[in-house]
């Protein structure tokens, strides 16, 4: 006869509902401390760690022998009685009555005080650490809440190809791929293939990787990052900014409300996230340049706003900041002309608080096929290559806007992480493609 056991999670124990009761747990040996007549095991599962104690007198001899010989990361099942105990991390201890080692781990290569390089070389093992586990669970919430918000607003989730034949943003940052003897690229943005889809569905989004062959070795650059791209018909520049404010606030609140334990363990105050609410601050590009100049930063109208200037603009503020109406020369050809200042497009970058820098880029899109052709000619690109993209402006061209959220950057900001690679399971940077 097979006896079916109901396993609970560590979190259920730590929440206090099982004090004095017998429970069944399963997971990995996070830490182990061996004494003469007892072995203390910190048991880990996705929900947390709990102290368990295996006393020689309480279990069978062979079970105790197993406990004495097992190493960290061994896989175990445990049955025992929960006891409130102030000395134990989390306030509870499980006194083991029965336990089995399902897999004896080999000597785990990760020990305390190892270099970041070593930990990243062992990312496949390091991700079971409490910090990475918590971060990945927050990441899940961010992805899920974006979908939840957008679907709730009537958007359809769709997909686009990763192999493309045209550039979307900076030509210099394209990854070339050999494609049956032809040169193609890994996509830098899904926008070009998303816009045609709004003619079918009006409100659409894609959550997919974008690839950038940027040689920037900064804390904010990945070569493969996760990009949430949104396109909305019947939506102008104002509507586009409102959409971004609502989406970002929704994601921040979802993390604050649904990932309390993880935030606590990561030492992030949820108030930081609950404080994110519309309206965000706004400033035109021209005002931004003036502000930077007054602050002693060497910059002139027409220059890109690089990290130093971006940091300066928000360093005193806890609010997100939209910078609007950038010059045409430093932005992309598909953006809508700004009639109030023809040197500029109706676009925006969203900068994170306290000097964090850009997390979203967006714009109203140009609806006039000829203006897009003119823009391409002006920057020396060949409109023929974009025929399909321009075509959508020939058949019922509709006002529309969109934006792209750097999801990894947003998570980095939310959790106050030191480096963007810390928020993604297997980061890809200029210097890392392993494991």
Q: Which residues bind ligand 4AD (CB under 6 A)?
A: 168-169, 189, 191, 212, 214, 221-222, 225, 227, 229, 358-362, 402-404, 406, 408-409
Q: Report DSSP letters for 334-354, one per residue.
A: TBPB-TTSTTBBSEEEEEETT
Q: How far is the CB of 234 from ligand 4AD (least distance, A)?
A: 17
Residue 361 as a binder of Mg ion (CB under 5 A): the answer is yes
Q: How far is the CB of 274 from ligand 4AD (least distance, A)?
A: 22
| DSSP-derived secondary structure letter, 277 | -
Residue 427 as a binder of Mg ion (CB under 5 A): the answer is no
49 binds, among ligand 4AD, Mg ion, none (CB under 5 to 8 A by kind): none
41 binds, among ligand 4AD, Mg ion, none (CB under 5 to 8 A by kind): none
Query: How far, in Å, CA of 28 to CA of 25, rounded?
Result: 10
Three-class SS string for 47-78? CEEEEEEEEHHHCCHHHHHHHHHCCCCCEEEE
Asked if 195 and 399 count as a contact pair (C-beta separation under 8 A), the reply is no
Q: At 150, is the secondary structure helix, strand, or coil?
A: helix
254 binds, among Mg ion, ligand 4AD, none (CB under 5 to 8 A by kind): none
Q: How far is the CB of 3 from ligand 4AD (least distance, A)?
A: 50
Q: How far is the CB of 361 from Mg ion (least distance, A)?
A: 3
Comparing every residue's Cβ against ligand 4AD, the nearest one is: 406
Q: How far is the CB of 275 from ligand 4AD (least distance, A)?
A: 21
Q: How far is the CB of 176 from Mg ion (least distance, A)?
A: 22
Question: Which secondary-structure segment (H or E) carries 164?
Answer: strand 163-164
Measured from the CB atom, the residue of 27 and 361 that comes closer to Mg ion is: 361
Measured from the CB atom, the residue of 189 and 314 that comes closer to ligand 4AD is: 189
Measured from the CB atom, the residue of 253 and 400 that comes closer to ligand 4AD is: 400
Q: How far is the CB of 290 from ligand 4AD (least distance, A)?
A: 23
Residue 357 as a binder of Mg ion (CB under 5 A): the answer is no
* Cα-only R_g, the chain: 26
> Which neighbouring-strand residues pair with 365?
335
Q: Which stretches within 259-368 are classed as H helix?
A: 260-265, 270-274, 285-294, 307-314
**CA of 166: how far to CAs of 180, 205, 372, 394, 403, in Å?**
17, 20, 15, 19, 19
Provide the pairing of β-strand 22-34 with 38-45.
antiparallel
Measured from the CB atom, the residue of 48 and 361 that comes closer to Mg ion is: 361
Q: How far is the CB of 410 from ligand 4AD (least distance, A)?
A: 7
Residue 168 as a binder of Mg ion (CB under 5 A): the answer is no
Measured from the CB atom, the residue of 49 and 423 that comes closer to ligand 4AD is: 423
Residue 327 as a binder of Mg ion (CB under 5 A): the answer is no
Measured from the CB atom, the residue of 19 and 170 that comes closer to ligand 4AD is: 170
Segment lying near Mg ion (by CB under 5 A), choices 99-107, 242-250, 307-315, 357-365: 357-365
Measured from the CB atom, the residue of 74 and 197 that comes closer to ligand 4AD is: 197
Query: How far, in Å, CA of 57 to CA of 38, rounded?
Result: 9
Segment lying near Mg ion (by CB under 5 A), choices 133-141, 177-185, 227-235, 359-367: 359-367
Q: Report DSSP letters for 364-418, one per residue.
A: EBP--HHHHHHHHHHTT--GGGGHHHHHTTTSS---EEEEEEEHHHHHHHHTT-S
Query: How far, in Å, CA of 263 to CA of 337, rounded?
Result: 43
Burial 366-385 (b: 16+ CB within 10 A, else e): beebebbbebbeeeeeebee
- Build a one-symbol-per-residue string for 103-142: x at contacts with Mg ion by CB under 5 A, - elsewhere: ----------------------------------------
The candidate with the shortest Cα–Cα distance to 420, out of 331, 357, 354, 362, is: 357
Measured from the CB atom, the residue of 250 and 326 that comes closer to ligand 4AD is: 326
Q: How far is the CB of 356 from ligand 4AD (least distance, A)?
A: 10
Largest CA distance in the chain: 85
Q: How far is the CB of 141 from ligand 4AD (least distance, A)?
A: 19
Asked if 188 and 209 count as a contact pair (C-beta separation under 8 A), the reply is no
Q: Write out the residues near Mg ion by the rule CB under 5 A.
A: 361
């Amino acid at each position: 006869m097979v006896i079916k056991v109901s396993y609970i999670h560590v979190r259920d124990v730590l929440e206090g509902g099982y004090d004095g009761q017998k429970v069944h747990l399963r997971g990995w040996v996070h830490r182990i401390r061996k004494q003469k007549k007892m072995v203390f095991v910190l048991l880990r599962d996705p929900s947390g760690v709990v102290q368990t104690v295996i006393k020689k007198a309480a279990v069978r001899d062979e079970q105790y022998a197993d406990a004495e010989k097992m190493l960290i990361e061994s896989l175990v099942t445990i049955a025992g009685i929960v006891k409130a105990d102030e000395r134990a991390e989390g306030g509870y201890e499980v006194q083991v009555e029965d336990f089995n080692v399902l897999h004896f781990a080999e000597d785990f290569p990760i020990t305390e005080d190892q270099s970041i390089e070593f930990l990243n070389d062992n990312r496949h093992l390091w991700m079971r650490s409490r910090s990475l586990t918590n971060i990945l669970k927050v990441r899940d919430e961010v992805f899920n809440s974006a979908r939840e918000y957008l679907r709730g607003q009537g958007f359809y989730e769709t997909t686009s190809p990763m192999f493309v034949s045209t550039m979307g943003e900076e030509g210099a940052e394209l990854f070339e791929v050999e494609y049956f003897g032809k040169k193609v690229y890994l996509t830098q943005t899904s926008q070009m293939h998303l816009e045609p889809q709004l003619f079918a569905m009006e409100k659409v989004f894609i959550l997919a990787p974008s690839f950038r062959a940027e040689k920037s070795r900064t804390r904010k650059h990945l070569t493969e990052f996760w990009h949430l791209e949104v396109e909305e018909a019947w939506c102008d520049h104002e509507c586009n900014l409102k959409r971004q404010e609502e989406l970002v606030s929704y994601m921040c609140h979802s993390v604050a409300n649904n990932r309390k334990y993880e935030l606590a363990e990561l030492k992030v105050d949820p108030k930081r996230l609950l404080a994110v609410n519309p309206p965000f601050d706004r400033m035109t590009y021209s005002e931004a340049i003036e502000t930077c100049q007054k602050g002693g930063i060497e910059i002139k109208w027409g220059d890109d706003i690089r990290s130093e200037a971006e940091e300066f603009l928000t360093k005193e503020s806890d609010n997100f900041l939209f910078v609007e109406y950038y010059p045409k020369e430093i932005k992309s050809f598909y953006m809508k002309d700004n009639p109030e200042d023809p040197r500029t497009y109706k676009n925006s970058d969203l900068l994170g608080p306290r000097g964090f820098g850009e997390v979203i880029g967006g714009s109203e899109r140009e609806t006039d096929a000829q203006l897009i052709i003119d823009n391409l000619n002006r920057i020396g690109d060949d409109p023929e290559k974009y025929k399909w993209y321009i075509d959508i402006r020939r058949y019922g061209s509709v006002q529309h806007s969109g934006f792209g959220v750097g999801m990894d950057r947003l998570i980095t900001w939310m959790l106050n992480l030191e480096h963007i690679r810390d928020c993604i399971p297997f980061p890809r940077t200029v210097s890392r493609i392993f494991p």
